[in-house]
Amino acid sequence: MFTGIIETIGTVTAIHEEGANKSFWISSSLSHELKTDQSVSHNGACLTVEQAMADRHKVTAIAETLKKTNLQFWQTGEKVNLERSLLFNGRIDGHLVQGHVDTMADCIDRKELSGSWELRFAFPEKFSSLVIEKGSICINGISLTIFDVSKNECSVGIIPYTFNHTNISGILPGMKVNVEFDMMGKYAQRILSASYTLNAPSLHER
């Protein structure tokens, strides 16, 4: 479990393909603090640390993860947002994030607004019910607030600190980002859907 508050930016230093999977070596200021089997959010995708050294660590993305995330496009030199798992003894400054990426979204616009930035994203229409005005969304592992929602588009505002301390600064129109929608919204949608199915009239009652 994570909060969407990025701790540091790592750099992909090596990539190895193993069957349908890809292993990545990530160099970062956190690597020396990591241990084997720990969960770490990489651009919002929860990955297990397989090896940890003084200046880098290794993780592997299986085929399912590659299919749903922008990890499939990573190349050597890629900048990656990193966050260690949540400790339940402090404040949650973002929102509860599982590290389970739902889909990718396309950046369709970026504006600089005298010290802040506004980015707009388009996502698959089937997720529209999970995006609400002033709700939370996790983009590349960053907890952000949504505004200007339309059917399958939304915008987020980026403050200077977030712009300078995450890889959101490198996101331009045409690029893809990882998206995890709010966990509470997904549970609510599932409960309502299951409730309707259980209470729907049978053919004999219609």
Q: What is the pLDDT of residues 165-188, one digit of tens each?
A: 999 999 999 999 999 999 888 888
**Mean pLDDT score of the chain:** 93
| Structural domains of the chain, count | 2
Residues 178 and 117 in one domain: yes
Question: What is the span of the domain harbouring residue 179?
Answer: 103-191
Q: Is residue 97 part of a domain?
A: no
- For 30-46, the pLDDT digits (tens) are 999 999 999 999 999 99
Domain contains 201: no
Is there a contact between 145 and 133 (Cβ–Cβ < 8 Å)? no
Instruction: Decide which of 51, 84, 117 is a domain's last residue.
Output: 84
Is residue 1 one of the residues assigned to a domain? no
pLDDT band per the 50, 70, 90 thresholds, residue 91: confident
Instruction: Read off the pTM.
Output: 0.89
- Contact residues for 180 (Cβ-Cβ < 8 A; gap 6+): 44, 97, 98, 99, 100, 101, 102, 137, 138
- Cross-strand pairs, 136: 145
Residue 150, domain CATH? 2.40.30.20
- Radius of gyration of the chain measured on its C-alpha atoms: 18
Instruction: Find the mean pLDDT for residues 14-34.
Output: 96
Pairing of strands 51-52, 79-84: unpaired
Residues 119 and 176 in one domain: yes
